[in-house]
Amino acid sequence: MLIEIPEVLTKEQVAQCRQLMDAAEWVDGNVTSGSQSALAKNNMQLPEGSPVARQIGDLIQDALGQSPLFISAALPLKVFPPLFNRYEGGQAFGMHVDNAIRQLRGTSFRIRSDLSATLFFSEPEDYDGGVLTIEDTFGKQEVKLPAGHMVLYPSSSLHHVTSVTRGARVSSFFWMQSMVRDDAQRTLLFQLDNSIQAVGAERGGKDPEVIRLTGVYHNLLRMWADS
Closest contact distance (angstroms) between CB of 98 and Ni ion is 4
Closest contact distance (angstroms) between CB of 226 and Ni ion is 24
DSSP conformational letter for 109: -
CA angle 191, 197, 203 (to 5 degrees): 130
The answer to whether 130 and 144 are in contact (CB under 8 A) is yes
Our CB check for Ni ion shows the closer of 98 and 183 to be 98
For Ni ion, the binding residues (CB under 5 A) are 98
Our CB check for Ni ion shows the closer of 28 and 209 to be 28
Phi and psi angles of residue 81, each rounded to the nearest 5 degrees, phi first: -55, 130
Closest contact distance (angstroms) between CB of 177 and Ni ion is 16
| Minimal CB distance residue for Ni ion | 98
How far apart CA 33 and CA 35 sit, in angstroms, is: 6
Our CB check for Ni ion shows the closer of 32 and 72 to be 32
How far apart CA 95 and CA 69 sit, in angstroms, is: 28
Our CB check for Ni ion shows the closer of 10 and 36 to be 36
Our CB check for Ni ion shows the closer of 183 and 193 to be 183
The answer to whether 115 and 175 are in contact (CB under 8 A) is yes
Closest contact distance (angstroms) between CB of 157 and Ni ion is 9
How far apart CA 49 and CA 70 sit, in angstroms, is: 24
How far apart CA 54 and CA 35 sit, in angstroms, is: 25
Closest contact distance (angstroms) between CB of 22 and Ni ion is 23
Our CB check for Ni ion shows the closer of 53 and 210 to be 53
Closest contact distance (angstroms) between CB of 99 and Ni ion is 9
**Coil, strand or helix at 198:** helix
Q: Of 76, 60, 42, 214, nearest to 150 (Cα)?
A: 60
